[in-house]
Amino acid sequence: MKRIRKISRNIKKQCMGMMLGAILALSGCGSGAIQEPTEVVSEETTEAEQESVQVMELELPDNRVDDNNRMYYEVFVYSFADSDGDGIGDLKGLTERLDYIEDLGCNGIWLMPVNASTTYHKYDVTDYYAIDPEYGTLEDFQAFLKECEERHIKVIMDLVVNHSSSKHPWFTEAAEYLRALSPEQEPDLTECPYVDYYHFVKGEADLSGYVKLEGSDYYYEAQFWDGMPDLNLGSEALRTELEKVMSYWLDMGVGGFRLDAVKEYYTGHPDESVEVISWIVDYCKSVKEDAYIVGEAWDSQNAIEHYYESGIDSLFNFPFAQSDGIIAKSIRSAGDGKAGRALAEDIVDYHTMIRDINEQASDAPFLSNHDVGRASGFLGPDLEKVKFGNAVNILMGGNAFLYYGEELGMVGSVKGAPGKDENKRAPMYWNDNGDDGMTAGPPDMDEVVHRFESYEQQKEDNESIYHYIRNIIRIRNAYPQIGRGIETVAQEIEDGDIVALWKEYDGESVLLLMNNSDQEKAVSIPERDGRKLELGAGLGISGEELTVEDGTLTLTPFGVAVLK
């Protein structure tokens, strides 16, 4: 096991090591022939070392379209990459690592909050127009956007409008005004319009989630923490202000927003929350037609279905994610003869639900994020299951999201503090030395013990999680049907251990097969519309060869194949 400790703030910045290719896979040939290895050698690599860095490149075309169907990489800037040696990740460090994200195959980045804030997590915004000084300057952010634009990487920002910081000038001015009122006086919005920006209640408040405003007779709503007072999104004055905020960032080049905590816009009143989402979506689209808006509605499928009525592009797929989600449960039942087929049916049903409400909307699947445990925790220590869980997430369709470090199998909890927020946001595991951009992590983070190697080591290992996920993304990028296609369960594949999905897009279909078992499977290759299918791409969990002989595909344990 490898350890990441809280390291000192005087980390020396060094150059990033070379980034190498991908593990074994198959090209589009009916015979199942294997691509010859492509040798990639650094200029600094000696002749004796060349054999150790020979890697197998996945030879597939890049058929991505520059639109809103993307592979997103979620970044917590604080822990990602440090450019100035203070132990805190920053925008310059992130910009320096864009080649890494691009090479991974991601063409979208979700930035967790980067606005000015008082905390490490930065969900308590003090200035919606400013970049937090710990992360850099506005010029750094603009330089980052420019580099992303050149790489055709779409950037979406966390838009935190359910609440602000209690240190935000809107709240401090409203609080000061209310404290100065006599018991008989009522607030006058012409004197202090900011009172209307929040939910203030006079007298004893028996409402859940309300906090006493010290020095006054008032209470204010704060569903998460007294340092994050809830905004009154029914205020027209506030909406006008927030429209200016959204325009500011969209005009600068941001491609859209991730909406934090949408079901808490009006806690316990989903219809009102849906109306707020609709307002945000409509306004953003009026400013930038191709703005992508994805919302966090941490709830059941029935509740999420209701939020899709807002017209939003995507909502994060919580029913399939995290330790108790459909993906993890299916993999824990691997080999039972039915979990693979059931997972395929669940995917089809969920995506049909979305399309029935809004044909233009798409799913936003994820396996883990900053609020839940990482996959190596709830699927590990079994390396095969960690890999396969990520493959299902990336290939199931829609706009897939990958939390930074998942491609390395990073852990997000430690013994004795499994749910601690800081531990889920540990430093990106670049290396074991604590240099070359490594951060110190959040101030109260515990020691985190990783199950798998650092990027520096995994990049040299064909069987690493890094190379596996990199190649799964390449398969996704080669076949637009995977992310965009309308799915049906492939009834021709009778083995219940196999996740078998037809995916059709733009008049063309592919058959996606994912073996949810630790046993080898022989699959008789079916026809489609009277035409024979051929192997388009295949990936064994540990680099095994996939073979086709006499019309039969041998699908390795937890193997993945695309037939075209």
Any idea which residues carry the catalytic annotation?
A: 260, 296
Instruction: Give the C-alpha separation, 417 to 384, whole Å.
Output: 26
Closest listed residue to residue 69, CA positions, set 379, 290, 335, 344: 290
Q: Tell me the residue type at 476.
A: R
Closest listed residue to residue 481, CA positions, set 496, 463, 503, 453: 503
Instruction: Give the C-alpha separation, 143 to 351, whole Å.
Output: 37
Instruction: Give the C-alpha separation, 242 to 232, whole Å.
Output: 11
Helix (H, G, I), strand (E, B) or coil at 118: coil
Distances (CA, A) of 252 to 143, 238, 289: 11, 21, 15
Whether the CB-CB separation of 520 and 554 falls below 8 Å is answered with: yes
The DSSP code sequence of 214-226 is TTSSEEEE-SS-T
The sign of the dihedral angle between the CA atoms of 400, 144, 157, 19 is: positive
Q: In sequence order, what are the residues at sequence separation of 6 or more whose Cβ sits closer than 8 angstroms to the Cβ of residue 287?
A: 246, 247, 250, 251
Element (DSSP H or E) covering residue 503: strand 498-505
Instruction: Return the residue matching tokens 């080591």.
Output: 457
Phi, psi of 119 (to 5 degrees): -120, 170
Whether the CB-CB separation of 497 and 517 falls below 8 Å is answered with: yes
- DSSP label at 261? T
* Degrees, nearest 5: CA angle 423-427-428: 125
Residue 127 burial by CB count (10 A; 0-12/13-18/19+): exposed, middle or buried?
A: middle
Instruction: Give the C-alpha separation, 281 to 310, whole Å.
Output: 8
Q: In sequence order, what are the residues at sequence separation of 6 or more whose Cβ sits closer than 8 angstroms to the Cβ of residue 390?
A: 367, 375, 402, 406, 407, 465, 468, 469, 472
Phi, psi of 198 (to 5 degrees): -130, 170
Neighbours of 459 (CB within 10 A): 21
